[in-house]
């Protein structure tokens, strides 16, 4: 792992302060693209959510999850790296691999070092984002062809999403369709092998994102004077060796990701499996939160829920009413709607000491999400 610079003031990796902006409206925006956002999300939830959906609908969903995320990752990288850069990195690997001139061999060695450096930088970004302990495979030292097609990770933030990230990245840089296989090779350690091939699942067009202008907000964060990240973010512990972010209060693992990644997965699952998917996502989230949160956490969830929702980039809660008969929440600049519904439902049930409740929700034309929970 190359050295990753931390802020002298708060200890958060400097890249976080450079790349992201915590606005007062519950949005974590990209510094170079204010219309695009990220969330600081509980990562242990992700694979448990997928398992919960599978149990509820009685069908495997991992192939769809991988294909959906692969498509988004490939699209993102193709936009981020010009074709000339991606094509240049493959130079000489598309040439005759037989003996060549000294100049050609020197070029080959130089290209290999460039690719390895790029791979290390990308794995460091994964560590900063909480994706796990990513390491280079032995193929780099052995100077094998296409060594980036083999990746090893320990303690991934999500197995299918990580496999899809690697698959989409390789496709973007090589410019062709690939397939992925993975195996568990140790305790929470996985090896992914990418090879040319067709996709086992073909999905329809990309999710057409409903874009809403973000509403202004007036959340006032106390910020680090060095990097301007909210000081509350420094309560999260960045273990860069492990590639893990931990909430110091709840001890739960977190990760930074674009909410569109999961929203696209839910959209594709609904396209493939029908209208039961939204209800299954809400129910799987409700069950997961109930299994993790205590009644005490739920009873004090009002102020905490509002502040954590904003700090984690999930939107700005402008209305929060709760009594013995119902709970009503309005979230401006909302995202991951099904997960917010399931979370709100679970916290209400735990706080009121009931086993099950009913919910209603609506997303207005301006993007506001309203959730009502009733006994």
- What per-residue confidence (pLDDT) applies to 324? 87
Are 331 and 368 in contact, with CB atoms under 8 Å apart? yes
This prediction's pTM = 0.88
Distance between CA atoms of 374 and 17, rounded to whole angstroms? 41
Report domain extents, the chain: 14-196, 275-374
- What per-residue confidence (pLDDT) applies to 148? 85
If you write DSSP's letter for every residue of 242-290 in order, what string do you get?
Answer: TTEEEETTT--EEEEE-HHHHHHHHHHHHHHH-THHHHHHHHHHHHHHH
**Among 152, 179, 165, CA closest to 69:** 165
Distance between CA atoms of 133 and 189, rounded to whole angstroms? 9
Residue segments in the chain with a per-residue pLDDT below the cut of 70 = 1-2, 83-116, 204-211, 294-303
The CATH-assigned architecture of domain 275-374 is 2-Layer Sandwich (3.30)
Distances (CA, A) of 246 to 11, 41, 155, 256: 14, 11, 13, 12
- What per-residue confidence (pLDDT) applies to 114? 67
Distance between CA atoms of 11 and 84, rounded to whole angstroms? 37
Distance between CA atoms of 234 and 25, rounded to whole angstroms? 20
- What per-residue confidence (pLDDT) applies to 246? 95
- What per-residue confidence (pLDDT) applies to 344? 94
Q: In what order do the strands lie in the sheet with 178-186?
A: 133-136, 150-154, 189-196, 178-186
Distance between CA atoms of 337 and 368, rounded to whole angstroms? 10
Contacts of residue 233, defined as CB under 8 A and 6 or more positions apart, other chains included, come to: 10, 12, 16, 22, 40, 311
Dihedral pair phi/psi, residue 24, rounded to 5°? -80, 15
Are 132 and 47 in contact, with CB atoms under 8 Å apart? no
Contacts of residue 315, defined as CB under 8 A and 6 or more positions apart, other chains included, come to: 26, 27, 309, 331, 332, 333, 334, 335, 340, 369
- What per-residue confidence (pLDDT) applies to 131? 95
- What per-residue confidence (pLDDT) applies to 32? 87
**Among 29, 4, 48, 22, CA closest to 238:** 4
């Amino acid at each position: 792992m190359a050295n990753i610079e931390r802020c002298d003031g708060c200890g958060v990796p400097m890249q976080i302060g450079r790349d992201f902006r915590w606005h007062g409206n519950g949005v974590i925006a990209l510094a170079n693209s204010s219309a695009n956002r990220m969330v600081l999300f509980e990562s242990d939830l992700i694979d448990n959510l997928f398992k919960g959906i599978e149990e509820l609908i009685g069908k495997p969903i991992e192939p769809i999850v991988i294909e959906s995320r692969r498509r988004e990752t490939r699209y993102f990288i193709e936009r981020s790296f010009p074709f000339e850069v991606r094509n240049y990195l493959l130079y000489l690997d598309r040439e005759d691999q037989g003996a060549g001139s000294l100049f050609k061999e020197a070029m080959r060695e130089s290209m290999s070092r460039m690719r390895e450096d790029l791979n290390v930088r990308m794995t460091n970004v994964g560590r900063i984002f909480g994706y796990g302990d990513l390491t280079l495979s032995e193929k780099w030292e052995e100077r094998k062809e296409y060594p980036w097609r083999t990746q090893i990770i320990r303690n991934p933030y999500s197995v299918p999403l990580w496999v899809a990230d690697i698959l989409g990245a390789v496709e973007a840089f090589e410019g062709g369709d690939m397939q992925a296989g993975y195996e568990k090779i140790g305790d929470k350690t996985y090896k992914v092998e990418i090879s040319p091939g067709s996709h086992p699942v073909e999905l329809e067009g990309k999710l057409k994102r409903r874009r809403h202008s973000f509403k202004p907000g007036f959340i006032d964060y106390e910020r680090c004077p060095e990097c301007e990240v909210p000081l509350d973010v420094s309560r999260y512990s960045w273990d860069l060796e492990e590639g893990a972010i931990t909430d110091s209060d709840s001890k739960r693992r977190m990760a930074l990701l674009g909410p569109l990644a999961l929203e696209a997965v839910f959209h594709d699952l609904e396209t493939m499996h029908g209208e039961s998917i939204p209800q299954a996502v809400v129910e799987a989230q409700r069950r997961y939160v109930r299994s993790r949160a205590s009644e005490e956490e739920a009873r004090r969830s009002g102020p905490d829920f509002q502040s954590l929702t904003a700090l984690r980039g999930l939107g700005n809660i402008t209305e929060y009413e709760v009594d013995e008969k119902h709970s009503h929440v309005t979230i401006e600049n909302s995202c991951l709607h099904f997960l917010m519904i399931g979370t709100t439902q679970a916290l209400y049930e735990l706080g009121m000491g009931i086993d099950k409740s009913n919910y209603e929700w609506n997303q207005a034309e301006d993007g506001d999400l309203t959730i009502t929970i009733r006994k």
